[in-house]
Amino acid sequence: MFLRSLRTALQSRHKLAMRRLMLDARSFLRLHFLDAAARSGLADALRAPATREELAARLGAARPELLHALLDVGRALGELGLDRGRYRARGRALRAMQAADGDSLAAMAEAFVTYYNSAYANLPARLAGGPQGDYLDWIGPVVARFSRMIEPYVAGFVAEAVQGRPGLRVLDAGCGSGIYLRMVAEANPGAVGLGLDKDPAVAEQARANLAAWGLGGRFAAAAGDVLDPGLDPGPGFDLVLFANLAYYFPPAEREAVYGRLARLLAPGGSLALVCSFAGQGRDLFAANLNVATCSMRGCWPLPGLEETRSQLSRAGLSRQTAARLMPGSTLYGILARSE
């Protein structure tokens, strides 16, 4: 019977496509399991091996049968092991997520399961003219955590922008977790500055992080908009950081935004812009991000690299250097100065 079924399956015209989709479905399920494990508390509960009953008690599970089903998914994926009735974290992804520096991985899984998934689930209706999603009301903290994955690729660019500049005064526009200010502090011990974020929850996260890193005396973080005409730059900032923000502005307004940032600079100051640019099919993750930004109220398509450089020049920032920050990606850093 098995051989007959196998022979029939091998005669299927779409067997290779089915195999590809089954492999993709496994990755899809892994992301969902990891997200569920992180947000339900299961990942933390598994820091020590435990039986089903012990896990149910640790989690306060009112539906133990659902916990059992989730544990079976984890075992089938190889993320969980079972030894003499006790479950343990086994897979590389789950164990990495449990590490002290693994939160960005948990945030990555959450991002794909929640708003990226929603962008595709609602794409047919939106393609036909349906309303965009109101994701910005809640994704800020997730994006701030997820964005930490690109930190190693951005750190060198930031360090190059700030080294050898004593008394550097920095503004981080849309500061997220505050990590870019930490990069500035590590590369330039005398730098001081301010981080602004429109999302109060994100600004509070940055403030707490800066305090925990011992940088609260050098860098403040506050809820605010860098485009607010009431923002007083004082003598001007020596460096303005503008990371992963361009697609929060309509294409027709971006040049004016860069002009505003240029006016916040002190004489000889620089704008350090980091962005994932439109990849024309050469960068899968940039293309996926573009689907999300086109689906989201308050966001717009990713900018083009050369288009952005032209806009910066017309905004008075014509002395530019641009560098690809991540191999094989369209993540670039542009350091732009006025003439």
Q: Do residues 240 and 271 lie in contact, with contact meaning Cβ atoms separated by under 8 Å? A: yes
pLDDT tens digits in sequence order for the chain, 339 residues long:
656 665 666 667 788 888 899 999 999 999 999 999 999 999 999 999 999 999 999 999 999 999 999 999 999 999 999 999 999 999 999 999 999 999 999 999 999 999 999 999 999 999 999 999 999 888 888 887 888 888 899 999 999 999 988 889 999 999 988 999 999 999 999 999 999 998 898 899 899 999 999 999 999 999 999 888 888 888 899 999 999 999 999 999 999 999 999 999 999 999 999 999 999 999 999 999 999 999 999 999 999 999 999 999 999 999 999 999 999 999 999 999 987
pLDDT attached to residue 2: 58
Helix ranges (H only) for 264-328 are: 284-295, 305-314
DSSP state of 74: H
pLDDT attached to residue 233: 82
pLDDT attached to residue 317: 97
Q: Give 16's contacts (C-beta < 8 A, 6+ positions apart).
A: none
pLDDT attached to residue 4: 66
pLDDT attached to residue 3: 62
* DSSP letter for each residue of 97-115: HHSTT-HHHHHHHHHIIII
- The H or E element containing residue 302 is none
pLDDT attached to residue 140: 81
Q: Do residues 219 and 210 lie in contact, with contact meaning Cβ atoms separated by under 8 Å? A: yes
Alpha carbon separation from 117 to 32, 111, 133 (Å, rounded): 11, 8, 12
Closest CA to 295 of 71, 72, 103, 136: 136
pLDDT attached to residue 146: 87
Q: Rounded CA gap, 119 and 137, in Å?
A: 15
144-166 burial string, b = 16+ CB within 10 Å, else e? Answer: bbbbbebeebbbebbeebbeebe
Place of tokens 């940039």: 286
Q: Rounded CA gap, 102 and 96, in Å?
A: 6
Q: Strand ranges (DSSP E) for the chain? A: 80-83, 86-89, 169-173, 192-197, 219-223, 237-243, 265-276, 319-324, 331-337
* DSSP letter for each residue of 104-148: HHHHHHHHIIIIIHHHHHTHHHHHTTPPPB-GGGT-HHHHHHHGG
pLDDT attached to residue 232: 81
Strand partners of residue 271: 240, 336
- The H or E element containing residue 330 is none
pLDDT attached to residue 173: 95
pLDDT attached to residue 52: 97
- In this structure, are strands 169-173 and 192-197 parallel, antiparallel, or unpaired? parallel
Strand partners of residue 194: 171, 220
R_g of the chain, CA atoms, integer Å: 23
Q: Rounded CA gap, 137 and 298, in Å?
A: 10
pLDDT attached to residue 338: 81
Amino acid identity of residue 261, one-letter, is L
Domains located in the chain, CATH noted? 12-99 (1.10.10.10), 142-337 (3.40.50.150)
pLDDT attached to residue 42: 98
